[in-house]
Amino acid sequence: MRFRVCWLKRISTGRRHQGRTATEPRVRRGRTRLPQAERGNGVQGKRSPARRPTMKDIARRAGVSESAVSFALNDRPGVSEVTRDRVRRVAEQLGWRPSTAARALSGEGAATVGLVVARPAATLGVDSFFLQLISGVQEVLAERQLGLLFQVVEDVDAECAAYRRWWAEHRVDGVLVVDPRTDDPRPALLEELGLPAVVTGGVPDPERPPRPGLSTVWADDAGAMASVVGHLHALGHRRIVHIAGLPGLAHTERRIRTLRAEAERRGLSGVRSVTTDYSDAEGAAVTRRVLRSASPPTALVYDNDVMAVAGVAAAASLGFAVPADVSVVAWEDSALCRMVHPWLTALSRDTVSFGRTAARELLGLLDDAPSATVQVPLPSLIERESTGAVRASG
């Protein structure tokens, strides 16, 4: 299932820029598609990474000054009609587009940020994380009169195809990338397209400098999982099952690795992870399976709130009381965690703020800021009624 939603909200920002009034257009570099002649590297059929053309490129090609280019593109006096036509023709040949700020100020139309999510639509609709993330993103975009183009696809191949299509059609000026993966093809593709992007959730590689035009906003999943294991270990739990999310996602793999490392460090042998599709159905099914085993766990850690709530119901259907017989921890805290009895111990983070940060970083890239790596605060463990000391026989 695929669908597309576009939000667009206009407000008056009243911003002023140094050396000019808020009504004077400002022209800066814009993300565009270069013609093949400009993108080629001299080898037939092989394309080098795209680069956004600048006013300097236009000036060099047209044989005029950068100020003349600015006058021509902003339809201001100071150049002849012949020069104006030549500059515009060169700009079109190079595929130049103004920056988001200049487009909004000139009235050409608000820029658009793209977001593609490769998740099953059925599970996405009940996942509080994405609802809150998008809320934070849209809050920041509205401040700059920008739109959000949102699409759900089946897999990462379809996601890459969406990026290529949007780039070719000039549909978006930059994208937000979610669910980083092991062996992820998307960063290299976006660099090739010259499409500014912010990856949310990807842990930066200390051995590799940031890719140009690609920033990262991330949270310490490893530290969060370590705090969960420490909490359960202190309560006497030795058999812990982590009911994880989709395999192949970078944060799923980090949580699994951390759980394994913490178990080894603490000498726990009855600890393991089981991957799912994040749905309540799979969360309940895995819960029933592990609780029916010969040596059932005394604690369950779920990778989202929906699975945790479904797990509590599944445990009750088998006669397991929470927390007397089994403790439950949800990774994402939400209102749902406080609507079930008992209230769920959960990892809490400000996902709306996470979305705001990602959107601001992307707007920075669109305004030609350098790539950056931003770490958001560590999720905090909120201890509630669903975790307790293990029974003496547990």
Summarize pLDDT for 136-150 with one digit per residue, the tens.
Answer: 999 999 998 899 999
- Cα–Cα distance, 138 to 9 (Å, whole number): 9
Domains of the chain in sequence order:
17-106 (1.10.260.40), 112-219+351-378 (3.40.50.2300), 221-348 (3.40.50.2300)
**Which amino acid belongs to residue 387?**
T
If you ran DSSP here, which 8-state letter would residue 257 be given?
Answer: H
Q: At residue 43, does pLDDT exceed 90?
A: no
Q: What is the DSSP letter of 341?
A: S
Residue 353: per-residue pLDDT: 97
Q: How many CA atoms lie within 13 Å of 38's alpha carbon, on the beta-carbon side?
A: 19
Strand partners, 199: 177, 216
User: Which distant-in-sequence residues (6+ apart) come within 8 Å of 383 by Cβ?
Assistant: 231, 345
By the 8 A CB rule, do 221 and 255 touch? yes
| Percent of all residues in the chain with a pLDDT value above 70, rounded to a whole number | 83
- What span, in angstroms and rounded, lies between the C-alpha atoms of 253 and 179? 12
Return the pLDDT at 391.
85
pLDDT value of residue 361: 96
| Interatomic CA distance for residues 112 and 262, integer angstroms | 43
Q: Output the pTM of the full model.
A: 0.74
Tokens describing residue 128 = 């509080």
User: For residue 97, how many C-alpha atoms fall within 13 Å in the half-sphere facing its CB?
Assistant: 29
Q: Find, among 76, 79, 77, 70, the residue nearest to 98 by Cα.
A: 70
What pLDDT digit, counting tens, does each position of 182-209 carry?
Answer: 899 999 999 999 899 999 987 777 777 7
Task: Sort residue 373 into left (φ over 0), alpha (ψ -120 to 50) or beta.
Answer: beta
- For residue 21, pLDDT over 50 is answered with no
The one-letter code for the residue type at 267 is G
Place of tokens 């905090």: 380
Task: State what percent of residues in the chain have pLDDT above 90.
Answer: 65
CA distances from 70 to 32, 75, 78, 98 (A): 17, 8, 10, 10
Other C-beta atoms within 10 Å of 88: how many? 17
Query: 110-114, 208-212, 334-338 — which is least confidently predicted?
Result: 208-212
Lowest model confidence (mean pLDDT) among 19-33, 253-267, 290-304 = 19-33
Which token pair is 54?
């600048």
CA–CA distance, 112 with 282 (Å, rounded to integer) = 36
Q: How many CA atoms lie within 13 A of 156 on its CB side?
A: 15
Integer Cα distance of 224 and 201 in angstroms: 13
CA distances from 239 to 128, 235, 269 (A): 28, 12, 7
375 close to 218: Cβ distance less than 8 angstroms = yes
3-class DSSP state of 154: coil
What is the crossing angle of helices 351-366 and 128-143, to 10°? 40
Which residue do the tokens 């749905």 mark?
279
State whether residue 197 is helix, strand or coil: strand
Q: What is the mean pLDDT of residues 342-357?
A: 97
